[in-house]
A = this chain, B = another copy of it.
């Protein structure tokens, strides 16, 4: 089965590498949505709907954080289902940030869950090995494998150096590169020249990110940590694919969550306007970055 989601990703990237992370947290919602008559999962769903409508004119990719919905159980999952459906109705590409990782049969179930939800892509953990990533690809999903994460504690596991000189993250990067090459070569998943196996590389690990780009020249990087977490445009610049002519072949997706969702709009009643403006700024900054290269 050709991976039509990889082709969709390619088209989205050609428009903009900006991605808005949907990490809805009840305590941070606009006041109007936190009234007593709001059930938590419903409030979050309503907020996400407003965010999607506000950002859709500016970005092509969104990344819902599964944990934020799951904490409200089956009601939260229903809110996630509705949110993904609305995003699809708006033509947005959906990366489910679920960081799943389990052995064969269970991975198939997780892949079925993500595909059933309507996600085009999913984030996955590499700790159980390459074979546990295959089922997501077999289900037609694009995957983004955690390689180098943006949090400080990731160093403890990802930075240690192997006997052959590679870091653990570097070893995972080679696994990601090889899996992507094999899927692209086989022609079963590599539609439109986009490798269906991407990598998560935090903007806050920019120096290592440059080295990881060397190891994974043809891999799309999903870059969290931009903005509120401290990553800068300069950090992103080093992650762009060498020789890229623009965002379409730059192979980076730059995610901002808090910076867009909670921009601190002065008038709380007009929160969605603030969200839209923040998304426009994110997209504009990235457009400038590619124009200046």
Contacts and interface: CB of A to CB of B under 8 A. Distances in A.
B153 A129 contact: yes
Contact of A153 (B65, B131, B158, B162): B131
Nearest to A25: B105
A127 interface: yes
Given A125-B101, A131-B152, A81 B71 contact: no
Interface string A93-106: 00001011111111
A117 to B, nearest CB: 7
A74 B78 contact: yes
Contact of A112 (B23, B71, B103, B162): B71
B68 A127 contact: no
A192 interface: no
B131 A157 contact: no
Interface string A129-170: 111100000000000001001111111111011110000100
A68 to B, nearest CB: 5
A115 to B, nearest CB: 9
B73 A103 contact: no
Interface string A2-26: 0000000000000000000001010
Question: What is the total number of copies of this protein in its complex?
Answer: 2
Nearest to A41: B74
A167 to B, nearest CB: 10
A172 interface: yes
Of the listed residues A68, A127, A168, A175, the one surrounded by the most CB atoms of chain B closer than 10 A to its CB is A127
Nearest to A110: B67
B102 A157 contact: no
Contacts of A77: 70, 73-74, 77
Nearest to A156: B129
A74 B77 CA distance: 5
A171 interface: yes
Interface of A: 23, 25, 65, 67-68, 70-78, 81, 97, 99-107, 109-110, 112-113, 116-117, 125-132, 146, 149-158, 160-163, 168, 171-172, 175
16 contacts: A23-B105, A65-B106, A67-B106, A70-B113, A71-B116, A73-B116, A74-B74, A99-B100, A127-B127, A128-B146, A128-B157, A130-B153, A157-B168, A157-B171, A162-B162, A163-B163
- A-B pairs, top 5 by smallest CB distance, nearest first, are A129-B153, A131-B153, A67-B109, A74-B77, A74-B78
